[in-house]
Chains A and B, each alone.
Chain A
Amino acid sequence: MSWLNKLLPPKIKRDSRADKPSAVPEGLWSKCPACEAVLYYTDLESNLQVCPKCNHHHPLNARQRLDVLLDDEGRREIGAEVKPVDILKFKDGKRYPDRLAAAQSSTGEDDALVVMQGSIHSMPAVVAAFEFRFIGGSMGSVVGERFVRGVQAAIEAKAPFICVAASGGARMQEGLNSLMQMAKTSAALQLLTDHQLPFISVLTDPTMGGVSASFAFLGDVVIGEPGALIGFAGPRVIEQTVRETLPEGFQRSEFLLEKGAIDMIVDRRELKRKIAELVSILQKQAAVA
């Protein structure tokens, strides 16, 4: 290990980019895929993974996401005890349990959703964040159950529920059980309505399929991250179906805003404050300090 590596805070080593073969020393430098600027990793990190040159929003993993949104103190994870099982003895190229194990060891998570109770600018909140690196952030039984437990925790704490989506859709390996998670998560939002608690839905790159077509657009306020791909069907499927070239910027946040599908696009560096502000107005509370 070089002296430079030893200097780096441990968070950096967990980054997925570091796993990929690269011409530059491990995890130190990163090239922005949008503007091709070579960025010093610490700069990127301190800028919440937003490119300082072109504002391209690089992906965040679930825990990084929670770090961006939640205050440091007073956190409690919800639903961590819920773990995946192989219902169908599903096997494609790989057995589902092997796929799960591989995803678990590469991400350090048990499944594709991490739910955390805590506070946002000192206001209580429950935040659920998708882990896209875990089988494409796909929604299976565990994601659905943790989502519901998050909603219940929000109700107990009389707090808003915030979900940050990053998912390719339903988890095929769980068959129809995964489809039913769409119904389950969407129905659970009725409980928040009963208690007049806000649901803020943040859609990040990418939010597709079964996640997009369930709770994602049911937010009292729906926020898109800049440039995120958001839609029901994937662009390739659509292209094959309609045999047309898709318009420029199709299914991107900016496109959705123009079509009236989302309320606003918020820069990641403003997101925490923006959510706090929205929630406090909805709950008729004083402005965030």
Chain B
Amino acid sequence: MKPTFLDFEQPIAELENKIEELRFVQDDSVLDISEEIARLQKKSLELTKTLYAKLSPSQISQVARHPQRPYTLDYLRSIFTDFEELHGDRSFADDPAIVGGLARFNGQSVMVIGHQKGRDTKEKIYRNFGMPRPEGYRKALRLMKLAEKFGIPIMTFVDTPGAYPGIGAEERGQSEAIGRNLYEMARLRVPIICTIIGEGGSGGALAIAVGDQVNMLQYSTYSVISPEGCASILWKTAERASEAAEALGITANRLKTLGLIDRVVTEPVGGAHRDHAQMMNAMKRMLQEQLKDFANRPIEVLLKERFERLMSYGRYKEDAA
């Protein structure tokens, strides 16, 4: 797969092009230029490392939306086995923007639920760009209840620009569907591990992200509103999105410092899209460890801690009354 470079990655793109050209020349050249290629490759890696070491929040939000970033189904195929996809909310439709079903993780039964984006235009439209309608959230809740009934732990993967703002979505109760999930997930009697793998877009993300553990990939984002949306409201122009991204504090490291997420998952150099296999390994190791940890703790303890954490959200000062 030929990598797609983001605008701030142009210097890397140029180097990579050069390497590509040299490789092409090498085939019918008498001179040995492999040393030169190796040198350039090393330089490209170094450049990627330096660039990625100081990404701005708005650059991170570009990486989070990278077209080659691993999506939920990529994780499902790589680190789970025997995935049995389950469809539909039983009242209206199946929403392809959220996928879910039973699977095995190292042989252990789990329920996996996640937003799903599309790769090509056709699939993007089919997946509605990963923006769920109420039936998506209701399907998710149905599957979570099923997991609860059989005592199966839940893993969710969050990657959505947000819940879909459409006429039908409103008519069928988008608000109620999201609110209901928040309420139910607070007390679901099985462990819930949530991982933000790309875009954590507001309520549409939160609706499957209430749990015992909230992980975030290094270059994913989680925000109350998209930087573009925020900028167009506060500055009346979407062009100031990078300022908004800065102000909102949407990156994994910032949110970890603020105590709003539990763990930052390190991505391969240059982002998860550069090396899917390495990303999958890191994800698998982490989920393994967390699942084991939760399996050893009584559900009452987990529920108490989950609830206490929910109640602790927010910062305020308290005056002596």
Q: Which of A22-30, A54-62, A140-148, A265-273 contacts its partner?
A: A140-148
Chain B contacts for A174, CB-based, 8 A: 224, 314-315
User: Per-residue CB proximity of A80-92 to B under 8 Å, as 1/0?
Assistant: 1111110110111
Cα-based distance from A87 to B248 in the complex (angstroms): 10
Distance in angstroms from A219 CB to nearest chain B CB is 10
Chain A contacts for B248, CB-based, 8 A: 88, 90, 172, 175-176
A213 at the interface (CB under 8 A from B): yes
Judging by beta carbons under 8 Å apart, are B175 and A92 in contact?
no
B225 at the interface (CB under 8 A from A): yes
Judging by beta carbons under 8 Å apart, are B179 and A238 in contact?
no
A261 at the interface (CB under 8 A from B): yes
Chain B contacts for A177, CB-based, 8 A: 258, 260, 313-315
User: Per-residue CB proximity of A219-259 to B under 8 Å, as 1/0?
Assistant: 00000000000111110011001101011001100000001
B187 at the interface (CB under 8 A from A): yes
Cα-based distance from A237 to B175 in the complex (angstroms): 15
User: Per-residue CB proximity of B205-219 to A under 8 Å, as 1/0?
Assistant: 011001000000000
- The tally of residues in A whose CB lies under 8 Å from a CB in B reads 62
Q: Which of B43-51, B110-118, B163-171, B278-286 contacts its partner?
A: B163-171
Cα-based distance from A91 to B234 in the complex (angstroms): 10
B63 at the interface (CB under 8 A from A): no
Judging by beta carbons under 8 Å apart, are A175 and B174 in contact?
no
A188 at the interface (CB under 8 A from B): yes
Name which residue of chain A comes closest to B243, CB basis: A92
Distance in angstroms from A84 CB to nearest chain B CB is 6
Looking at the complex, which one of A189, A234, A250 makes contact with B183 (CB distance below 8 Å)?
Answer: A189
Looking at the complex, which one of A142, A172, A216 makes contact with B175 (CB distance below 8 Å)?
Answer: A216
Chain B contacts for A181, CB-based, 8 A: 313-314
B301 at the interface (CB under 8 A from A): no
Q: Which of A163-191 contact B (CB under 8 A)?
A: 170, 172, 174-184, 186-190
Beyond known contacts A186-B186, A232-B174, A260-B173: 17 more, CB 8 A cutoff? A81-B321, A84-B316, A141-B315, A145-B316, A175-B248, A176-B224, A176-B250, A176-B255, A179-B224, A187-B307, A213-B175, A216-B179, A231-B175, A232-B178, A233-B174, A237-B165, A250-B167
Chain B interface (Cβ < 8 Å from any Cβ of A): 163-167, 169-176, 178-180, 182-183, 186-187, 202-203, 206-207, 210, 222-225, 230, 233-235, 244, 247-250, 255, 258, 260, 307, 310-311, 313-321
A sample of 13 inter-chain contacts (CB < 8 A) reads A88-B247, A90-B248, A141-B315, A145-B316, A170-B225, A172-B224, A172-B234, A179-B206, A183-B313, A186-B179, A190-B186, A232-B169, A250-B167
Chain A interface (Cβ < 8 Å from any Cβ of B): 80-85, 87-88, 90-93, 140-142, 144-145, 148, 170, 172, 174-184, 186-190, 209-210, 212-218, 230-234, 237-238, 241-242, 244, 246-247, 250-251, 259-261
